[in-house]
Amino acid sequence: MGARFGQVLCSAAASAGAASAKETKSMPLRVQILLYDGVEEQDFIGPRDVFGHAVQAGGEVETTLVRPSAPGEVTCFFGTKVTVPAAWEPTDTDLLIVPGGGDQLINDPDVLQNLVRAQEAGVIVAGVCTGVMVLSAAGLTKGRPCTTHHLAKAELAAQGGRVIDARVVDDGNLVTAGGVTSGIDLALWLITRECGASVAIGVESIMEYEQRGAVWRST
């Protein structure tokens, strides 16, 4: 894991309680969410909401929607069109979220190579739903604890992933989640881990949502 792994500074509002040790790290937490044609709307909107509300709750988080190769418009799974403002720079972030929905990225060798580059550079790589299968195609889940949508778990295991029956699985610089709405829980967990529990509780209050399920952790 790289030097920036977990290196986050959260505001004074997030510096109280049992999570205070996490809340005195370097700032801010830089998040990229990778969008592409066919991406499932909820897979990325859920995490985007969490990271956005984390700022309102006192966390220092910068979130950018990115697209492979160049900025531009993507057409999502249900036809929603989203203008993506930035090109993906694989090593220029602390945390990368790969949502699911389509198989375009699985068949893109440049994307797969860049995922490996990102993780080797110290980026925390996280997958939501079948976005985890993109990480698997890049070889990032082989031999490691992980999860995905229940309909894809057998395939993930066949490709070498050590599939865990949990909604969110945290293996350090690889964090994975189950299907669709699990992305909200993944993002809440990452805010808890990187910015502290008080920020995550604030997000839950704003969103009127409580994190579901226990997080499986390797450490």
pLDDT at 27: 74
Active site residues: 129
pTM of structure: 0.88
Fill in the amino acid letter for 34.
L
pLDDT at 5: 35
Which tokens is 182 given?
Answer: 């699990």
28: cis peptide before it, omega within 30°?
A: yes
CB atoms within 10 A of CB 181: 17
Give the mean pLDDT per block of 10 residues along the chain (219 residues). Answer: 38 35 63 97 98 97 97 97 98 98 91 98 98 98 98 98 98 97 98 98 98 93
